[in-house]
Amino acid sequence: MSGKQRGPLDGMLVADFSRILAGPYATMLLADLGADVVKVEDPRGDDTRTWTPPVRDGVSTYYLGVNRGKRSIALDFRNPEDARLGRELARRADVVIENFKPGGLTKYGLDHASVSARNPSVVYASISGFGSGAGRKVPGYDLMVQAVSGLMSLTGDPEGPAYRAGISVFDVMAGNHAAIGILAALLHRDATGQGQLVEVNLLSSALTGLVNHSSGYVAGGTVPYRMGNAHPSVFPYEPLPTADRDLIVTAANDGQFGRLCEVLGIPEVSDDPRFLHNTDRTRNREELRPLLVERLRTRGALEWFDLLVEAGVPCGPINTIDGGFAMAERFGLDPIVEAGEGERAVPTTRHPIRFSETPAVYRLPPPELNEHGDEVRAWLEDENA
């Protein structure tokens, strides 16, 4: 059905009933790995098709960013025939993924219990905002989760309001967790023949994603607070001003700090008892910061970047997105690839994982709504397929 098969997930059929970001991001990762992903959309289309600007050739770049490698079929589950085709797709699938409100697919026979009864080996992944228990009725949007998880309380100036992160960080994190869960469940299925339900929710992804802050509370009883760009446990680990713009300096251990001081021309500072170890530097950061800034202001950020990186001191200029891509190009990461071929090819960001034997594939551009509807319908109707 999918033509030439390539990638480590060759031959894997994914029925994608998800919308917006977390689910589509997960299924895009699977498509990059060779899975045949059939994106099932309401006839009105995925919401992100209308989330503009920006656009490319009239199409939302938000939608383009998380839907390469898939085929699209439009099904209206309120139509009994379309609902039947959805169930048939789920019956044939290796993986089903959805992010409807918990219980929202039950009336169509597309919930886990119904699908697994017809397809016992299916890996069924469900993504929600707050789980399938007491939080099942609460819609899940990334901004809500940034708020209730505590992330926004950590983001922004200490004297200013709480801020959201610049991206839907927990949608992306939940999408990654869903992909990991799916791959683990497929490995279990290979060993036992059993499918299973994989549940991911944004709040749980957020709490684990807060890492050291979560641990500080759970294991140490400490509720962290906003520190702007400062780190609660490490210094220097923040932007510091140079002659032209701020430079992120992350000298997180004693060796890195010693090399930083050497390059800055103040080697005696690393031997000062006030700054000898990280705990000392963190405790005395207000005394140390002006000593570093005085030297950093003598050169520009990019000049310091080259000097410090050469010495093994982690640092980096604060770029805009174009600068981030330029730096990835400089490092030979080739961050931009094309999904699809010919006139329909769309520039897209490279899959983040490199494989020595089974590299990621970018077979198809993000599909137009119902672009593959006829071929998918014909395949589902063919009892011998």
List the structure tokens of 348.
Answer: 């897209």
Quickly count: other Cβ atoms within 10 Å of residue 94's Cβ: 21
- Beta-bridge mates of residue 51: none
Strands 55-56 and 13-17: unpaired
Neighbouring C-alpha atoms within 13 Å toward the C-beta of 153: 11
* Cα-Cα end-to-end distance for the chain: 8
Burial of 223 by CB count in 10 Å (0-12 exposed, 13-18 middle, 19+ buried)?
exposed
Alpha-carbon radius of gyration of the chain: 25
What is Dmax (Cα atoms) for the chain?
A: 79
User: Are the C-beta atoms of 304 and 294 separated by less than 8 Å?
Assistant: no
* Residue 36 known to be catalytic: no
CA dihedral 223, 228, 229, 233 (to 10 degrees): -30
Q: How many angstroms separate the Cα of 383 from the Cα of each of 14, 88, 122, 377, 380? A: 19, 10, 19, 12, 7
User: Are the C-beta atoms of 69 and 363 separated by less than 8 Å?
Assistant: yes
> Of 36, 111, 171, 190, which residue is the catalytic one?
171
DSSP code of residue 271? G
Run of H or E residues at 260? helix 254-264
Catalytic residue IDs: 171
